[in-house]
Every structure is written in structure tokens, then in C-alpha cells.
Amino acid sequence: MVAATIAMGLSAGLYYAYSCSVMLGLGRADDRTFVDGMQKINAAILNGWFFLTFAGALVLTAVAALLHFRGDGRAAFGWIVAALVLYVIVLIITMGFNVPLNNELEAAGDAARIADPSAVRERFETAWVRWNLARTVVCTAAFGCLTWALVLHGRVVN
């Protein structure tokens, strides 16, 4: 459960960092720089460390739920399941909204050659920021559920 909580916290922190810094900083850039920067960020994030956290939060939370299904773990079980459900919602938001927007941005081509970077940005930015905020809130709630599950589990063990 500790590993699940850490992975969930890292995921929530990533989305939070986008919400309160990355997108605010890119939002101050001109259209071409915004598109180029976001395309580069989208390519850079596809790495093993990100995948380990992104998938790890799901897998480790599911394992924690299985391990707490019976016996002394029952007090924490509901909170772990709540975290798992919330993280599935994060995945749905990510795969259903943010990733398709990222793919559309990439399909626009090299930012230096885009005829109308303002139009590309307009189709991307507002929707992406809105959905990122949604997954930030949901993932933070999942992190909170796992944190509370740890508290409950600690009370049972002690």
C-alpha cells in the first residue's frame, strides 16, 4: 500500500505541476512556441520512469486492494477500492481526452512549418487544460483515499 500511495502521489503531483506551472508558463508563450513546447513535452514524457508511475499507480493500488480484502485489512479496503475507481477515472480522462488532444497536436506537424499555429493552439489548449485540471482533482482525491487507507491500516496493525 505504501508503494501504491507513492505512485499515486507522484501521478497527482505530475498533473498538479502541469496545472500550476507548465501550462501557465506555456500559456504566456507565443502560439508557435506553445505548440513546439507542448509537442516536445509530449514526446519527452513517454519514457520508462513515467510509465512506471502511470501504470504502477493502477497495478499497485489493485494489488493493495487484493491484499486488504480479508482479515485485518478490511478497514482500509473501501478506501483502497475508492482510490482504484478514482484512478480508473483518471485513466479514462487521460486516454479519452488528453492523449487524443496530444495526438492531434502532434499531427499538426513541425511547429516551424504550421501555417496557422494560433488555430492549432486554440483547438488544443483550453480543452487540454480543462481535462488536466479534472484529472488533477480526481487523482489527488485517489491519493487522499490511499493516504487515509494507510492511516486506517496503521490503526489496525498497532
Average pLDDT, the chain: 96
Residue 28: band (very low, low, confident or very high) from pLDDT cuts 50, 70, 90 = very high
Question: What pLDDT does residue 74 have?
Answer: 85
pLDDT digits (tens, 9 = 90+) for 69-98: 987 778 899 999 999 999 999 999 999 999
Percent of the chain with pLDDT over 70: 98
| Pair 97, 131: CB distance under 8 Å | yes
Rounded to two decimals, the pTM is 0.94
Encode burial over 122-140: b for 16+ CB neighbours within 10 A, e otherwise.
eebbeebbebbbbbbbbbb
Distance (Å, whole) CA 49 – CA 29:
28
Q: Is the pLDDT of residue 158 over 60?
A: no
Residue 157: band (very low, low, confident or very high) from pLDDT cuts 50, 70, 90 = low
